[in-house]
Amino acid sequence: MTIKKNNSKRKEQILQSLALMLEKEPGARITTSKLAKEVGVSEAALYRHFPSKARMFEGLIDFAEQEMFSRINMISKEISDLEEQCQKIITLLLTFAGRNPGISRMLTGEALTGEHERLRGRISQLFNRIETHIKQQFRQAEVASGQKYIPDVASRANILMAFTEGRIQQYVRTNFLQSPLANWEEEWQLLRKIC
């Protein structure tokens, strides 16, 4: 039992160090050697917890996905109003990005340059999954109202996601100086018309 607990803590420490390095070293390639030094272990110790560097990045992606979707699902269960759901979901995504700058670099793909291609696919899949969830909320609202949205639900969900991804991209491009939530309340007044 203690061994599993220690393994879990070490894995978490490795992922936290990786996220911190992504935040503190923009544009720098993260090597297992640098990461091992940051964690304070040997490279062999890293590989005891993760079979490859790609799996370490996947660990961060899994963390982001789990954190986002646990809250997105909670929002969808607790709030029935579509406009409020959209506002809360986008706020959640922008807040998550602002609190996790290293992971934001990974979400934009910048930190994945030169890494295994499947990682980019995982990021794409994550954003597609969020967009699909938003589309489903629009479809449920259509059914409840008995009216079709024009423009359609796919276009509406895509605009919300394009805005969200764009704000995360700006945050990364400005080296985390421009918060993803900057002017969010004013911008939401424009975006809410989509819902």
Residue 5 lies in a domain: no
Residue 6 lies in a domain: no
Q: Which residue has the higher pLDDT, 68 or 28?
A: 68
Q: What is the pTM for the complete model shown?
A: 0.92
Helix (H, G, I), strand (E, B) or coil at 175: coil
> Could you tell me how far CA 100 lies from the centroid of its own chain?
9
CB count, 10 Å around CB of 51? 10
Contacts of residue 50, defined as CB under 8 A and 6 or more positions apart, other chains included, come to: 11, 14, 56, 59
**Rounded CA separation 98/117 (Å):** 25
Task: Choose the weakest-confidence range: 120-124, 144-148, 169-173.
Answer: 144-148
Inform me whether the pLDDT recorded for 173 exceeds 90.
Answer: yes
Domain that holds residue 108: 54-194
Reported as a pLDDT band with limits 50, 70 and 90, residue 6 is: low
CATH number reported for the structural domain that contains residue 121 in this entry: 1.10.357.10
Q: Domain total for the chain?
A: 1
**Rounded CA separation 34/36 (Å):** 5
Residue 112 lies in a domain: yes
Residue 77 lies in a domain: yes
Q: Give the pLDDT of residue 5.
A: 56
Residue 108 lies in a domain: yes
Stretch 21-50: mean pLDDT = 92
Percentage of the chain lying above the pLDDT 90 cut: 90
Residue 128 lies in a domain: yes
Stretch 84-113: mean pLDDT = 97
